[in-house]
Amino acid sequence: MTFDLITFGCSWTLGRGVGYEKGMDVEKYLQIIDEKEICDKYSFRGILSKKWGCNNINYACAASSNQRQFRFALEHFKSKPSKKTVVLWAITSIFRDEIWYNNKKEYINILYGSTLNGKNKLDGVDIRERLKSNFDVDNQLQVLCNQMDHWNLFFEQLGIENYWMDTFNHHNYPYVNSRMLFNKKTKRDLCSILVDNHDKLEYDTKDVRGIVPQYFDYLKSKYMLEKNSRNEAKKLGLVNPFSSHPTKEAHIKIANFIDEEINLINNKR
């Protein structure tokens, strides 16, 4: 019996940039970076959908925050699904948010990491001030745990099979979620798994003095750990040289990792 595979996440789950081919120039790359047909076919969610013989309903989008994906889930699950449903949910960076913006009458992304590049305002929103006054790492991780606990209970009550993943940051949650994939890995995020949990920390000379002092070291270390893993992935040809998104080969590997992990959990599929 076929089923719906519902996917949540950011650009890695979307499949952004998966159309990159070796030797492609940046102009051509930017023309196909978000082409839906390519993303749907070659992303790990597309590969898994074909392998599992299911229909993919995707909510993952480029530069998405976790808050945006939780909102999409609320909007989707307004009634009980009419057929079997599996949810694959990839958690992204906690240094992202979304807020309602009256001037545009829509939600806008807030990327706290942009302060590392000296960009402190977006659409009139003072990102640096929000980071200083409205952001706390421990609180963000606890909120994520609360959300995952809530959705685990919700899905269990509806008979929906669900799984969580970290995307390109290994989050140090206050406790282990029972539905989290790759929990036995040194680093469970997809980027680290791609490069065999590469974890050397080599700082560069990037000027990040504009960041709020109390999160300078934390954000810098998260940035450098992620950058180091992505640099290693570039050497292996697993992310493209322009936007550091996974290549076709990497998406195949990720799909295999997920399939194997879920098989181990369920001893079947």
Band of the pLDDT at 129, cuts 50, 70, 90? confident
The answer for residues whose C-beta is within 8 angstroms of residue 128's C-beta and 6 or more apart is: 115, 120, 210, 211, 212
For all residues of the chain together, what is the average pLDDT?
87
Torsion on CA atoms 219, 224, 227, 231, rounded to nearest 10 = 180
Q: Which is more confidently placed, 234 or 190?
A: 190
Is the model's pLDDT at 37 over the cut of 50? Answer: yes
The predicted structure's pLDDT at residue 67: 98
Element (H, E) at 96: strand 96-101
pLDDT digits (tens, 9 = 90+) for 63-87: 999 999 999 999 999 999 999 999 9
Are 2 and 80 a contacting pair, CB within 8 Å?
A: no
- pLDDT score of 268: 54
Q: What domains lie within the chain, and their CATH numbers?
A: 4-266 (3.40.50)
For residues 198-224, give the mean pLDDT: 45
Asked if pLDDT for residue 177 goes beyond 80, the answer is yes
pTM: 0.89
- Name every residue whose Cβ is closer than 8 Å to that of residue 61 and which is 6 or more positions away in sequence: 10, 11, 14, 68
Q: DSSP letters along 167-230, please? A: -SS----SS--TTBTTTTSSS-SHHHHHTTS-----------TTS-HHHHHHHHHHHHHHHHHH
At 156, list the tokens: 């269990």
Contact 185, 191 (CB under 8 A): no
Residues in contact with 27: Cβ distance below 8 Å, sequence separation at least 6, in sequence order: none
Q: β-strands 85-91, 4-8: how paired?
A: parallel
